[in-house]
Structure 1
Amino acid sequence: MPDLRDVRAAWRWAHSDLRTHRGEALFLVLATAGIVASLLLATALFGYATNPWQRTFAEARGAHVWLHTAPSADARKLARLDGVTSVAGPYRSEPATVAARGTRASVELRGTPRPPAVGRPLLTAGRWLDPGAPDGVVLESSLARALLAEPGDTLTLPGTARTLTVEGVADSAEPPYRPGEQPGLVWALPSAVRAPAAQVIGLRLDDPADTDYAVQRAVTVLGAGAVGEVSTWQQARAEAQDTGRLLGQVLGLFGLGALAAAGFAVHGAIATRIRGHLRDLSVLKAIGFTPGQVVRIFLLQHLAYALLGAVAAAALTEGLGSRLPGRLGDAVRVWQGLPGHSLALCAVPAGAVLFIGLTTGLAAWRAGRVPPVPVPRPAAPKGGGLTGPARRALGLRLPAALVLGCHQAFAGRGRSLATVARLTLPLVLIVVALSAWTTLDRFHGSPERVGLPTTLTVRSDGALDASGVRAVLARDARVRAAYPGVELAALVPGQTGTIALRGVGTRAEPYPYALAEGRAARGPDEAVAGQGLLDLLHARVGDWVRMTVGDRPQILHIVGRTLEPRNAGRVVTTSLDTLRENDPALAPAFYELRLRPGADPHGVAAELASAGRGHLDVHPVTNPADGLSPLRGVVAGLIAVLALIGLVELLTAIGGSVREGERDVLALRAIGMSPRQITAITVTATSCTALTAVVAGTALGLPLARRLIDAQGGSSGIGAGIAQSPSPGLLLLLGTSAVLGAAGLATLPAARSARRRLTDTLSAVG
């Protein structure tokens, strides 16, 4: 047990070490803060993605299954099914289009005389329907946001003289409104549903795990021809949490990777520092310090850095996280109100500090093994330790500084490989982050390559027939092509759910799919499918699949897989001609428009709506990347954190290279090398190490990024094939910046070491 003098000596040594390595300590603190902040935001996003919908579903006593059936279907039979605890409805339903402030939306008017016990809307603004206001409605919250509507506003039904008054806004556990894909939900009095086309029935189950079986039984009891569409609670939950969960996965993945990189960087920094402080450690041993006390000096010093960074990150996330723009700020606000918030706020920083402490302890253990009497360094081997290639390069009269620098970079193979590996890890993660950024840019810049070849969708309210719509579209020169289409809800084999069956384009003018596998559908009964549909049916390209549209079977040959961002990829697409062979009376329900380069989609949409005299609903095709705009800021922040970690590792490598080369200064001066040449040796060695790490990081990062991004695309239903690698110019810029930055950082300490006085050099190596 050391006395007070020993403690003071340890404190003075730690304080002196901190003053000597101020920059390295600051970088470690900042890197730890960035890592912990990333992990905390990832935790918040996961909580935000799961809990709000789950809370709404529980408070609303949400239905596990919603069925859209023919008006004549007998819903009373469903209440007698095994496992069904309660039934919501039946409610009469009417498809309609509403408009507010120049924005249109397809909606489902649902006649609801009173707040239901199952699937109860949770009012967030206004009040429930009043029989004294027969034209009053309550809007689902996502629809209200799209229309910028609030209680008291008036909605119009284009093409009619009807108006509806917004009485309230409510949250629901049903699938949210998605333009062109999922109609918005509007609760109205039964008298406001004037032309019912279907009825809606909700089933609440005793065991949610039996959802597929319950759907199967319900379709069997009612008859396949009576069921038009089925939606389940799993689909609604996946749609509600999709974007937030993706952001959370990205943050979590990079946060854990950065934590590992930081741990290895700290390990390397301590190991390098131990090699440079062998005399100081021997002095500590000589004055009575035990190996355990020496280990604790290093361990506590770096734990203090990690703890400072972790506490700062937790404080900033807690205090300022809710002020972040967009989804990140919303996620932090929701997360702060969840029961496990306090535990996560403490556990995540503590876990990061413990991990860094573990890697620190492994490196500091070597400090405890330093003997009290310094062991002389082994003499250089005969021939100066130069390898055969190095000697041959000198014989070819290549610059000695270049040859010796490359030799120094790879002389100690184990140590050099460890340095390259530690520097490679953050570079791999930076390449993955740049790939994610480039893939996101591809969605925005080249949507036709990721399954979005069209820009606008046009629907008629029925007042204009197909020829009238085509005439309006043909008059606008900015419309390059118009593909007629129809989308039907089809029951999958086994009758456990519905998928989207799309007939778009004709054989004369086929729809431009974004094919990822197989070929385009050209012949009769040929179709292409999204990854989500293939996974649902356990099918693959080349299979024949059978589905049911109403009471009509439809058998299609899947000849290709498309990148399909709609409906979680659960889409099978064929030509309109193929669907008409099964139902000759089928008419186009919408038109997908491709615009000429440079055309403004919003301007074209406004003019087409005006030319249609209020009978056309025109809206832009939804891009799934629109909800991922916060990802750009996340990726930029992660790259900055990873760059800090790489900088720490570079500083460690430079410091170790300078200290290892101190004893060679005398020999190099003796053979006539100038301080500038000696400096060039260290700079070349550092540059070679950085260049090797850049090459390894790029070679490992590109395939890893493609695999990770395609795996995410497959899990979301879009399918593999969306990954986009960074441009060669961007990768070259990254590599050049890393190598030049390493050379620049090494120049000053190498120059100082080369110009040291001979007496200083002798004392350092003696």
Structure 2
Amino acid sequence: MRATLRWAHADLRAHRGQSVFVVLASAGIIGSLLLAVALFSYAANPWQRIFTQSDGAHVWLHTRAAADTDALSGLSDLEGVAGVSGPYRTGKATLESRGVRASVSLRATGTRPPDVARPLVTEGNWLDAGAGGVVLESSVARVLWAEPGDSLTVKGPDGASHTLRVAGVAEAAEPHYRPGGEPGIGWVLPGTLDQVAPRSSSQSVGLRLNDPADLDFTVQQAVTLLGADRVAEVTKWQQARAEAGSDDRLLGQLFAVFGLGALLAAALAASGAIGARIRGQLRDISILKAIGFTPGQVVRGFLLQHLAFALLGVALGTAAIAVLGSRIPGRIGEAAGVWQDLPGHTALMIGVPSGAVLLIAAATTLAAWRAGRVPPVPMARSALPSASPMTGLGRRALGLRVPPALVLGWRAAFPRRARTLLTVARLALPLLLITVALVAWSTLDVFRSRPADMGVPAALTVRAEQPGSPSGQQLDRALTAPPAVAAVHPGVEVAALVPGQTGTITLRGLGTATSPYPFTVVEGRAADGPDEAVAGQGLLDLLDVRVGDWVRMTVEGRPQILHIVGRSIEPEAGGRVISTTVDTLAERDPALRPDFYHLVLRPGADPRAVSDSLAAAAGGALEIRETPNPADRLEPARGVIATLIGVLALIGLTELLTVIGTGVRDRGRDLLALKAIGLTPRQISAAIVTTAGFTALLAAALGTGLGVLSGSWLVDIQGRSSGMGAGIAHTPPALLIASVAAGAVLGAVAAAALPATRAARRRLADSLAETL
């Protein structure tokens, strides 16, 4: 063991540059992976991030009448309560903007946000005593298309109208507003609440606990203290998390795939660098065996040495992120800072580096085992050729005066050895993952720029349920009046019992036989006949049926039999939707009337401008909403995908430097022969650079080609599992894919230029030792 340690110490002194490169490569890769994990946690679970940043309340208590002040104040003294938000005097109100209405619960608060359950202002400012106004929770603001500075019409319980200016938009770790569900949240000053809801007497108070597991016991204590007859509603943090979890599940699955791929690529890159270093010391290993080292000692020496490198690099990378991660400017630093307080942080900080070390250890063990099999007598170079024999094609190319650098570079890049395939595969893996990330990015772009291709052809949904709303031909003329409206499609939705009456699905009628709705059909055809329908993937999976089958369901006690002729992309209700025309549903119920209208706008039209025009023409009697776009809940993925591409680029650069270093070392053996046949140092340098370029070109072709195929497959798999259905994947533009491949090749050429120049200028005496 002592001899092994002395040899390891001597080897470190003799190869300091290689040792430093391996350590720094491991540290950089681990640091990049941890930053990527921090961004994954930051973006894949936005509710948890908001709850952590705002010191959210674990439970909200809403009272019917003004509770005893002493009782409300006494909530902070309950056992297990870490902090109290409020109590806030609240009042119900209806907000209206651009023809859109939303019910909200206004909370009277001060000019300083509370410490517990603090709303996180993302746009605009908090309430100011001089300006007043209202701060809207982000989900309400999104439904109302409200931005800071906009004016809203507010109607209180007495029906009187008031005008409020939007001071800001904030995020809160509470249940989001959904039309037809619980009211949203708005924060106003006490004087503003007195104007809007002067007789409001309800209260809301939030409790943050030391231990969330004591929630039920604490709620029982609080209800007993306030009086069960005065508590109208109890909202627990699990409810808000469950509602948000359905939107975050797709992001979590997407990021998990990317994270595992990045971890594998990082481990392969680090193990490749270690394997290359061991192969570069075969002559030293032979000498060690010649002086008496056993194969076991050689294996243990390399294993201990490189495991120490891996542990040191991992420790440096982990420590750097733990200490300096939150100080990085921008979203990355914010994500690293918030991540430290999120659940699972400690497990990930230990698990990711440990997983990388285990993978590196496995690769190092294999490389060290090969080192132990090296014979004690150095073999001549002829027994270990560094390249394949010159082929007839190569000889003819030289005869046609093709530059020798190209011929020799091609010959060295593809020596027809299994090790070359492994090198290309390790270099292609980061490029494959980058291409997969670009496929996901392009799919998000299509959701945003061409929603009609993703099952959202209508930009606006209009309901005429208010008193004084136009109806019949008058409503049709009002909806088609704006020049930006391309088509108006009536619609109706009903709940239907599935066969066996064990569950319900959504039966939807859209469009008419003469003006069919433009469904995005990706399998089969559109419904254009009586009793024909298209269905989402979620419904096909639920009922275990296929396109072409007939489905019998029960609607309001009456049977409805439909022929599924196509599968459409359905982003709503988990894809458990079957759609036909309004005419087909009217055959079952002649008294059926449309519940809403979907408006398809012309390309380039602004939905907000059309909404303003319709609201003004109808005198505010129409309820106009923007059709939800799945891209809204997937928007956080953009920043994470961009960061992931940067991490993968760093991993690819590490692998590229390893490939170049190995190539330069191997070509160093050929310097005598290349100079002997008349090649100049410039030609030798060009041959080495060309070798790196050809290797990168092959890796780029494989990585981008397989990345497009696997990326499309993965996105479609995610779409199918979410119920939306396969067929949503969109490949990036060919120019973008070509630029990724070109960047890899140019990066390889640039990185190989300096080492190749130095190797070509070495003296012949320095190369004599390379022959053995």
**TM-score class, shorter:** 0.7 to 0.9
C-alpha distance in 2 between matches for 1:381 and 1:332: 53
Change (3 A) 1:270 1:726: same
Residue aligning to 2:763? 757
Aligned to 1:223: none
Question: Partners of 1:380 and 1:333 in 2: how far apart?
Answer: 54
Higher mean displacement: 241-250 or 523-532: 241-250
Relative to structure 1, is the Cα distance of residues 454 and 727 closer, same or farther in structure 2, using a 3 angstrom cutoff? same
Where does residue 235 of structure 2 map in the other structure? none
CA contact under 8 A between 1:507 and 1:577: conserved in structure 2? yes
Partner of 1:156: 155
Q: Check the 8 A contact 1:267/1:362 in 2, yes or no.
A: no
Q: Deviation of residue 708 (structure 1)?
A: 0.6
Is the CA contact 1:690–1:738 (under 8 Å) kept in the aligned structure 2?
yes
Distance 1:639 1:237, change over 3 A: same
Alpha-carbon shift at residue 620 of structure 1 (Å): 1.6
Question: Unaligned stretches of 5+ in structure 1?
Answer: 62-95, 110-122, 127-138, 193-233
Q: State how 1:270-309 maps to structure 2 within 5 Å.
A: 270-281=274-285, 290-291=297-298, 292-309=300-317
Which residue pairs with 1:14 in the alignment?
A: 12
CA offset digits 1:209-241 (Å, max 9, x no partner): xxxxxxxxxxxxxxxxxxxxxxxxx99987531
User: Is the Cα–Cα contact under 8 Å of residues 388 and 415 in structure 2 kept in the other structure?
Assistant: no
Query: Where does residue 347 of structure 2 map in the other structure?
Result: 343
Partner of 2:614: 608
Q: Percent identity?
A: 49
Seen in structure 2, the aligned counterparts of structure 1 residues 665 and 647 have a Cα distance that, compared at 3 Å, is same
Partner of 1:572: 578
Distance in 2 separating the partners of 1:247 and 1:185 = 26
**Contact 1:518 1:541 (C-alpha < 8 Å) held by counterparts:** yes
What secondary structure sits across from 1:419 in the alignment? helix
Q: 1:624 to 1:265 in 2, by over 3 A?
A: same
Superimposed CA distance per residue, residues 495-514 of structure 1 (whole angstroms, 9 cap, x where no aligned partner): 33332222111111111111
Q: Deviations over 1:685-704 (max 9, x none)?
A: 21111111112112322221
Range with greater deviation from structure 2 (302-311 or 533-542): 302-311
What RMSD, in angstroms, separates the aligned Cα atoms of the two structures?
4.2
SS at match of 1:378: helix
Separation in structure 1 between the aligned mates of residue 362 and residue 716 of structure 2, nearest angstrom: 34
Instruction: Sort the Cα spacing of 1:337 and 1:384 in 2 relative to 1 into closer, same or farther, 3 A.
Output: closer
Structure 1 distance, partners of 2:387, 2:475, is 87
Q: Is the 8 A contact 1:303 1:357 kept in 2?
A: no
SS at structure 2 position matched to 1:454: coil
Displacement of 1:345 in angstroms is: 3.4
CA shift for structure 1 position 100: 4.7
**Map of 2:100 onto structure 1:** 104
Instruction: Kindly report which structure 2 residues correspond to 1:185-584, keeping only aligned pairs within 5 A, or say none.
Output: 185=183, 240-281=244-285, 290-291=297-298, 292-315=300-323, 319=326, 324=331, 329=335, 333=338, 336=341, 338=343, 340-370=344-374, 374-379=378-383, 385-462=389-466, 463-464=468-469, 465-584=471-590
TM-score (norm 2): 0.74
What secondary structure, in the 3-state scheme, does the structure 2 residue paired with 1:521 have?
A: coil
Name the aligned partner's letter for residue 300 of structure 1: A
AA paired with 1:104? V
Question: What letter corresponds to residue 100 of structure 2 in structure 1?
Answer: R
Distance 2:337 2:463 in 1: 39
One-letter code aligned to 1:99 = L
Q: CA deviation at 1:611?
A: 1.5
C-alpha contact (below 8 Å) 2:664/2:688 kept by paired residues: yes
Q: What secondary structure sits across from 1:513 in the alignment?
A: coil
CA deviation vs aligned residue, 1:227-272 (integer Å, no higher than 9, x gap): xxxxxxx999875313322222222211211221222222222222
Post-superposition offset of 1:672: 1.1
SS at 1:645 equivalent: helix
Question: 1: CA distance between counterparts of 2:674 and 2:242?
Answer: 67
Q: Which residue of 2 aligns with 1:700?
A: 706
1:742 and 1:368 mapped to 2: Cα distance? 32
How far off is 1:715 after superposition? Answer: 0.9
Which whole-Å CA distance do the structure 1 matches of 2:118 and 2:760 have between them?
74
Please give the alpha-carbon distance, in whole angstroms, between the structure 2 residues aligned to 1:172 and 1:748: 54
Q: Which moved more, 1:302-311 or 1:411-420?
A: 302-311
For residue 485 of structure 1, give the secondary structure of its aligned residue in structure 2: strand
Q: Deviations over 1:342-388 (max 9, x none)?
A: 33432333223222232233223434455666443334779982233
What does residue 69 of structure 1 align with? none
Supply the AA of the counterpart residue of 1:310. Answer: T
- TM-score of the pair, normalised by structure 1: 0.75
Counterpart of 1:717 in structure 2 is 723
- Structure 2 gap ranges (5+): 62-91, 106-115, 120-135, 165-169, 186-196, 198-237
Contact 1:314 1:349 in 2 (8 A): no
TM-superposed CA distance for 1:625, in Å, is: 0.8
Equivalent residues of 1:294, 1:368 under 8 A apart = no
Distance in 2 (CA, whole Å) between partners of 1:269 and 1:159 is: 74
Contact persistence 2:35–2:332 (CA under 8 A): no
2 CA distance for matches of 1:382 and 1:351? Answer: 34
Secondary structure of the 1:673 match is coil
Deviations 1:457-479 (A, max 9, x none): 11123422233322222321121
Tell me, yes or no, if the aligned pair for 2:436 and 2:711 is still in contact at 8 Å.
yes
Q: Distance in 2 between matches of 1:728 and 1:383?
A: 34
Distance change in 2, residues 1:529/1:493 (3 Å): same
Measure the CA separation in 2 of the matches of 1:142 and 1:288.
Answer: 74
Q: 1:383 to 1:429 in 2, by over 3 A?
A: closer
Residues of 2 paired with 1:57 and 1:357: CA distance?
A: 45
Query: 2:598 maps to which residue?
Result: 592
Residues 172 and 674 from structure 1, CA distance in 2 versus in 1: closer, same or farther, beyond 3 angstroms? closer
Distance of 1:587 and 1:459 partners within structure 2? 12
Deviations 1:84-128 (A, max 9, x none): xxxxxxxxxxxx99425668346699xxxxxxxxxxxxx9799xx
CA distance in 1, matches of 2:607, 2:493: 23
Question: Matched residues in 2 for 1:487 and 1:382: separation?
Answer: 71
Provide Cα deviations, 1:3-50, integer angstroms capped at 9, x if missing partner: 7xx757634642553435655643432222222333455467677779
Task: Tell me how far apart the structure 1 counterparts of residues 281 and 521 of structure 2 sit (CA, whole Å).
Answer: 61
- Give the whole-Å Cα distance in 1 for the aligned partners of 2:415 and 2:301: 33
Amino acid at match of 1:744: A
Query: CA 1:146–1:600 in structure 2 vs 1: closer, same or farther (change >3 Å)?
Result: closer
CA shift at 1:720, angstroms? 0.3
- Is the 8 Å Cα contact of residues 47 and 335 (structure 1) preserved in structure 2? no
Q: Is the 8 A contact 2:386 2:666 kept in 1?
A: no
Q: SS at the partner of 2:447? A: helix
Q: Partners of 2:337 and 2:371 in 1: how far apart? A: 42
The answer on 1:684 being equivalent to 2:687 is no
Separation in 2 of the partners of 1:611 and 1:382? Answer: 81
Q: Counterparts of 2:741 and 2:171 in 1: how far apart (Å)?
A: 52
Q: CA deviation at 1:439?
A: 0.6
Q: Does the 8 Å CA contact 2:535/2:579 hold for their aligned counterparts?
A: yes
Q: Does structure 2 retain, via aligned residues, the 8 Å contact 1:439–1:723?
A: yes
Give the whole-Å Cα distance in 1 for the aligned partners of 2:726 and 2:767.
59
Cross-structure match for 2:26: 28
Contact 2:512–2:581, Cα closer than 8 Å, also in 1:
yes
Aligned residues: 648
Give 1:752 shift.
1.3
Return the alpha-carbon distance in structure 2 between the equivalents of residues 183 and 2 of structure 1: 74
TM-aligned CA distance change 1:652 to 1:675, over 3 Å: same
- Could you tell me which amino acid in structure 2 is paired with residue 579 of structure 1? L
- 1:301 alignment partner AA: F
Q: Which amino acid letter does the alignment assign opposite residue 268 of structure 1?
A: G
Q: CA deviation at 1:288?
A: 7.9
Query: Which residue identity lines up with residue 698 of structure 2 in the other structure?
Result: T
